[in-house]
Structure 1
């Protein structure tokens, strides 16, 4: 049996040509278990031959699913958002889902109504929430009331029963600070991130922990409040480097701000790392392209997004088992990447050899 000339093939055509039921075709397309491998291969072969593409509306009616995953973000860092979108898009594509990306202003008075309208229009199978939206009570309440599953990326705290994925920001920041101290730096400045994002506080905590562990006092005058943007990195650098006794190293809590510090240092005629070591956080694409390339933490942003989407898709499978509390909270590994923007101060030898590998 073949579809009418000029008309798009249907699931009925696929089932007939493959010699299976419509339900079996649906199970193959939805990557559900319980189908013999030979049958699965035959169905996929027919799907490819007929160039069959299931309509989202039809799939939704058949399985009470939209095959849409929503991604909500409000973040000034383009590199972070790009990484999240890349990871989420690829995982959705692999599973036959589509990703819908929406930007919401975290301080909008009607943000809950915006979420409600979005859910009503799209009926997504789940939402991935990035910071700071993942900690916004209005957003969480709107999704909870609409019974829309969601996974939180880097939330301020783990909530029982609420899926989340993150990395260990505190320990990562400790490693960066330990590296700087091991190189011989003691007068280390720190530029904080946006106050509405939990990662900002965690990274500062890691910096403070490491300084205290080495018996070094954190000078309040060497701590600048930024907001994860290049501009506040430049502003912070000018403030920190204008002091009579300058810091020998600056740790900015994301790469955008670290790049701002690098630009400001070069404008002031300071050589990096001879006059000033600079470290960032995230390992954005620009971190390895500037000169000197930045020492930073490789945050697994794309993998975190992939994992968040996988958790939503997994929960929608017909054979999904009830998750354990431990499986609801995923912590992914990071990597400290040492590059040419950090070295020992010119007047002081390194305390101990650095353990991180240089790239």
Structure 2
């Protein structure tokens, strides 16, 4: 059963996979690779993917074509990859928590984190920002307004399962308020819409807002973290725990994913390239330092382990909010146990 496979993935399955890949031949693709970004251009996934794709293309000797295919909070493009032949020529990019929890949200059925070979590059954090001319000068003022009139305050995100969507839901849970979410095809468009006054707040990722914050079009009020966020050229962004000390936070990891079932030599080759080229990449490190991400590449079982805290948090939070279509237990996550652990 699927949940049994997930529960065992940190153990024996990783050893079997590693043993099989050790004997795989080097893959030499003979045509371009299609890399589907299931979000609009300019968002967090699109940004880091367009930094990473040229590194992979040079190492493989073929073009890696980035294709934006947004819709349904990333589910449409992700389904396209799952439907494609498992020949190694169709990949996807996303926040791994999305791929892991699409089944819980009901956007995709019968899929979980172990349907993917995972290659992570950076971790991102959401930032609560408002237009430069907003009435709100700090997060405390915004929090008070949300508690008084939350349903009339519009929040721009890339959708319910996007980083911004889960961020505002987490803040709402901790802060005890309602809100009015407006969705866009990506985090970049959501941030731009907020800067232009279409929405009153955005909770998208720092990397999607940095230039707007530096340019004085957005005013950053808080970062969804227990540490301040330092961006070159602007004042440090205070942690949201200054106002909501009990809020759950976890790094949101982004990367590139290959569907299970691709040939072993494809996985072995990408493992090598990730270790030798991506994990030492100055370009990705510079991107992270410039836009407020964390350079933290990994792959395989290590990547899965790093991803699971945010996967668990998002899956179980959706149950607490009444948004889950399928119980997380169907993908091997016991939210009752997680809740008890957090309470101790």
Q: TM-score, normalised by structure 1?
A: 0.40
More helix per residue: 2
**Larger Rg belongs to:** 1
- TM-score, normalised to structure 2, is 0.41
